[in-house]
Amino acid sequence: MNLVGLNEVLAPAAKGGYAVGAFNANNMEIVQAIIEAAAEEKSPVIVQASQGAIRYAGLDYIVGMVRTAAAGVEVPVVLHLDHGTDFEQVLRCIRYGFSSVMYDGSQLPLEENIAMTRRVVEISHAVGVTVEGELGKIGGTEDDVTVEERDAFFTDPAEAERFEKETGVDALAVAVGTAHGPYKWEPELDYPRLQKIKERVSASIVLHGSSGVPDEAVRQAVSLGVTKMNIDTEIRQAFVRAVVAYMQADPDNIDPRKMLAPGKEAAKKVIKEKMRLFGCSGKA
Ligand code: G3H
Ligand code: 13P
Ligand code: ZN
């Protein structure tokens, strides 16, 4: 199937009360794991490429791998740029064939974030590419912030309404208590804030840092209207642990394919479990 934009998978999710998994592709085996999991679960899926993935593989390999994998399945696949912060890179992604982009201006002052995101939306929409923006600071679990600081970083519902109106984004990443990477403590989500954002914003709501969020909190976030759930860390952990276990069991192995195969299977298992948790299994 050809690549599709975010709205094609997220509008039905909003109607059906489920979320679609957005999985970070770190390498070829993980691209295969994501697409095979989606086909076997009959689930729509978002494959996303981070800055690290682009540095590692380059845009031509990423687009080549995802297009090839998507062409072999019937389920809708979105190829999305994750946390783009460079306007020219966004343009390159569109030219290479991404069907969706994220422009992350969350480190900029609000006015600049709005102006830059609007610029990305104008260009992307003109060529049929969807856009995710970010408001509030999501950060990493390594960032040492106090409770007061944490609160100040969260997305303000009134600002979110203004951001959507002035930028025209299709999706909005919000800061409501999640962070990127492995959590040191169980994350606490600010559900009342999420509800207020949802009441004021009609764009799809995105939860970054969804790895390590307890299942019950994920279900609650979905019930409050989150329709895109980003997962990277749990896939990496499963992949690397399986490869290490394989090498410990067979330290003399010199075939990289034998070493990576268990990583791919472990990644696929995590992705399928997340698809069932998000409710997108069986929705394609
Ligand atoms: O949100 C972004 C990713 O989880 C981090 O990705 O280390 O591949 O740039 P990266
Ligand atoms: P995790 O690595 O915490 O799953 O976050 C992924 C993410 O938000 C990618 O944008
Ligand atoms: Zn993220």
Which ligand lies nearest the alpha carbon of 183? Answer: 2
pLDDT at 148 over 80: no
Distance 104 CA to ligand 2 centre (A): 14
Query: Considering only CA atoms, which of 112, 114, 115, 87 is closest in space to residue 101?
Result: 87
List, for residues 149-208, the tens digit of each pLDDT value. Answer: 777 799 999 999 999 999 999 999 999 999 999 999 999 999 999 999 999 999 999 999
Region of poorest pLDDT, from 4-8, 71-75, 89-93, 183-187: 183-187
State which of 82, 230, 270, 278 you would mutate to test the pocket of ligand 2, scoring each by most atoms of that ligand within 8 A of its C-beta: 230
Atom 1, ligand 2: which residue's CA is nearest? 209
pLDDT for residue 214: 98
Distance CA 118, CA 111 (A): 11
**54 CA → ligand 3 middle, Å:** 15
Catalytic positions are 82
Residue type, 94: I
Query: 50: CA distance to ligand 1 center in Å?
Result: 5
Q: How does pLDDT run across 269-280, given as a tens digit for each residue?
A: 999 999 999 999
Which residue's alpha carbon is at the smallest distance from atom 4 of ligand 1?
Answer: 232
Nearest CA to ligand 1 atom 2: 50
pLDDT band per the 50, 70, 90 thresholds, residue 139: confident
> 38: helix, coil or strand?
helix
pLDDT (average), residues 82-100: 98
Q: What is the pLDDT of residue 127?
A: 98
Q: What percent of the chain has pLDDT above 90? A: 93
pLDDT grade, residue 262 (50/70/90)?
very high
Can you tell me the distance from the alpha carbon of 186 to that of 66, in angstroms, rounded to the nearest whole number? Answer: 33
pLDDT of amino acid 150: 76
Task: Determine the angle formed by the axes of helices 87-96 and 110-126, rounding to 10 degrees.
Answer: 20
Indicate whether 142 pLDDT > 70: no
For residues 101 and 84, the answer to whether their CB atoms sit within 8 Å is yes
- Nearest-angstrom CA–CA distance, 253 and 140: 36
Give the residue whose CA is nearest to atom 9 of ligand 2.
Answer: 230
pLDDT grade, residue 78 (50/70/90)? very high
Pocket of ligand 2 (CB under 6 A): 24, 82-83, 180-181, 208-211, 230-233
Each residue of 14-35: pLDDT tens digit? 999 999 999 999 999 999 999 9
> Are 191 and 174 in contact, with CB atoms under 8 Å apart?
no
Q: Which domains does the chain have, with CATH numbers?
A: 6-278 (3.20.20.70)
User: What confidence score (pLDDT) does residue 147 get?
Assistant: 67
Residue ranges around ligand 1 (CB below 6 Å): 24, 50-53, 82-83, 180, 232
Ligand 1 atom nearest to CA at 181: 4
258 CA to centre of ligand 1 in angstroms: 26
The pLDDT assigned to 164 comes to: 98
